[in-house]
Chain A
């Protein structure tokens, strides 16, 4: 090759490289699955796993017509969502945990729904007051609640009978009795554990234990952490002692990890668990996978013997900069109105009847819907544990409390959860761990509130 050709080849190669580098950097939205136009309602964090979703989606689609629906694949991804808001290309609607509302509202990532509620004439009184409180930040509503998750004590009757333990011993009202009952229910210890006596569900249910001890870990305005309060320390010390009885966190957690939580061979079916506070939706899991289990559901009680219920759930919210806010608003209304819930419940009842499985109710943020589902569609299954379970889940709703919307909800949650984990793994005492958590949480709250 002559010198001239060499130079030409060099220049061509060089130019091609530059074109490759800079030409390829143009953003192609369609390639990343972010294709959007004015006639499409894009939703992040929502899927259609069952008839409760699909039936309502079909109805809501009619409410937003002629706009089309685009469900962004996968669960709600905080990072992806905030990046899209920052880039000015958010989805039209998000579906997420209600506990995140305060954080996003404080950052201006979601919009207040004042106009939406007024223009679509959404009756906010149909929703449960505690759920609405969870999505209210600085006096303004930022979300429309969907499901309503309660927490009650699930009891394995077989284990209780064999250990001669009474139901009232494990409802949380008397901590000494609970401690003794847990020891009686337990089988084995440490690495040989074969049945957990009473699982306090730490770290997740720490706020419930603090509440049972008469204390809320976050102030009502969501701005002051109250983690190092003696009552919070006492609650954590007690709940942790229930795990220590089993030979420590290592064996306890390793054993619990082996449980087939969502399967037919779950801890109740295999007699591997005496009792534990669990979420309301687990009754549905048990009904579907192991309807033969012998269980009782009782309200979790505080130390004064009164029922308490930590309620959480998901919410719809509209991101700042969403293109189709009118459709988003219509969608939220259509998905959460009682007619939609009842239609969805009817479809579920039909499916369950076909499979000879018990219907365990539907627990939503819409109290009218729940009432109508119970009155019109619910029939006793004849399985005592499940029928009484439904009664308990309905009853505890009036004893609900929620965590207030906080401007640093995510950081606050991380702070107390990490503290409990440090206690569980033996790295810190409850007092030291909660002192550190208090510092971390309050610093985050101070930063968030400026």
Chain B
């Protein structure tokens, strides 16, 4: 199956003219009226704080005393702070492991669900249930299930003759452990894939089967291209979520005095370090600068993903 549909996109001027012309219609006004709550929310609760955060990033501010302008000092400190480097490195490694693992497991589960037949509803609910577990609970469960001596996972591994690693204390295994724990909650991604899989036309599989395509060829040349839109969407969303990871690792390693005392650098994700700077040490200006660096990192990574991935994405029926 080949998929190529050339489209001739209008230029920016033409698009602007078309957009302005839309205001001649009552439907456009109605649409904007319905969009107003979101627009206001964005202005007051997103873009407003973003501007404030940028201004604060140029100051030294501890909440209790008025901000003091320091120019680009906070950004200069960012470059020299070894913990910024470490936390960024941790976050990137975690994301690189998390995204493909989540996508693979979610896709596998969605394909199983597609074949379950009458019990599909039951299994769909069962598979989705872990998604309902609060991330804080996941963080605590991580410490219990992944304990190197008594954790359920290591006991299971031991039963089949594999000595399990110290997931919660060995810096080399902390991030893989957190990824495994996060993969547990793939229900949301799975549901998206399930919907995409249900939309793949049956006749494409029938035609491929008649041509003698094996199950693997049908998966590679029919299924994957046909759900590539969903894969692309989850790829972007999961990457952003990975780069903003906070709750599970914070609960497990930094959430209270006891866990904080033993907090490992291996679990210091960027947003956790940002949170510490802002709310533990009250370096609001520095934390704001950190937030802008993260914004920049996410934006660059997303742009690269969009540029690279768009070549592999196929939208069925698009002209």
Where the two chains meet, the residues of A that have a C-beta atom closer than 8 Å to any C-beta of B are: 10, 13-14, 17-18, 21, 78-79, 82-83, 85-86, 107-109, 191, 193, 203-204, 249-251, 253-255, 257-258, 410-411, 414, 417-418, 421-422, 425-427, 436, 440, 444, 447
Contacts and interface: CB of A to CB of B under 8 A. Distances in A.
B98 interface: no
Given A17-B37, A191-B148, A78 B280 contact: yes
Nearest to B77: A443
A72 B276 CA distance: 24
B261 interface: yes
Nearest to A418: B265
Contacts of A426: 171
Contacts, number: 98
A107 B147 contact: no
A19 to B, nearest CB: 12
A203 B150 CA distance: 23
27 contacts: A10-B30, A13-B33, A14-B36, A78-B279, A79-B279, A82-B282, A85-B64, A107-B65, A108-B64, A191-B148, A249-B169, A250-B148, A250-B165, A250-B169, A251-B166, A253-B166, A253-B168, A255-B149, A258-B147, A258-B150, A421-B263, A425-B264, A425-B266, A426-B171, A427-B171, A436-B82, A440-B83
A390 to B, nearest CB: 27
Contacts of B44: 21
B40 interface: yes
B221 interface: no
Contacts of A421: 262-265
Interface size bracket, B side = 35 or more
A44 B37 CA distance: 38
A17 B82 contact: no
Contacts of B262: 203, 253, 421
B206 interface: no
A204 B261 contact: yes
A191 B64 contact: no
Given A86-B63, A250-B166, A427-B171, A422 B265 contact: yes
Nearest to A80: B279
A85 B282 CA distance: 13
A410 B65 CA distance: 18
**A-B residue pairs, 5 tightest by C-beta:** A250-B166, A254-B148, A254-B149, A86-B63, A79-B279
A251 B148 contact: yes
Interface of B: 30, 33, 36-37, 40-41, 44, 60, 62-65, 82-83, 143, 147-151, 163, 165-166, 168-171, 261-266, 276, 279-282
A82 B64 contact: yes
Kindly name the residue among B60, B149, B266, B276 whose own CB sees the greatest number of chain A CB atoms within 10 A.
Answer: B149
A124 B175 CA distance: 51
Contacts of B83: 440
Contacts of A108: 64-65
B36 A17 contact: yes
A21 B40 contact: yes
A249 B63 CA distance: 39
A343 to B, nearest CB: 30
A253 B62 contact: no
Given A109-B64, A204-B261, A417-B261, A444 B166 contact: no
A87 B279 CA distance: 15
B78 to A, nearest CB: 13
Contacts of A251: 148-149, 166
Contacts of A83: 63
B17 to A, nearest CB: 27
A444 B148 contact: no
Contact of B168 (A82, A254, A427): A254
A425 B170 contact: yes
A115 B64 CA distance: 23
Contacts of B280: 78-79, 410, 414
Contacts of A427: 171, 265-266
Contacts of B62: 107
Contacts of B169: 249-250, 253-254, 425
A250 B264 CA distance: 12
B270 to A, nearest CB: 16
A426 B168 CA distance: 14
Given A251-B166, A254-B147, A258-B147, 15 more contacts: A14-B36, A17-B37, A21-B40, A79-B279, A82-B282, A108-B65, A193-B149, A253-B148, A254-B150, A254-B168, A258-B149, A410-B280, A417-B263, A425-B170, A425-B264
Contact of A257 (B60, B65, B147, B261): B147
B255 to A, nearest CB: 13
Contacts of B282: 82, 107
Contacts of B37: 17, 21
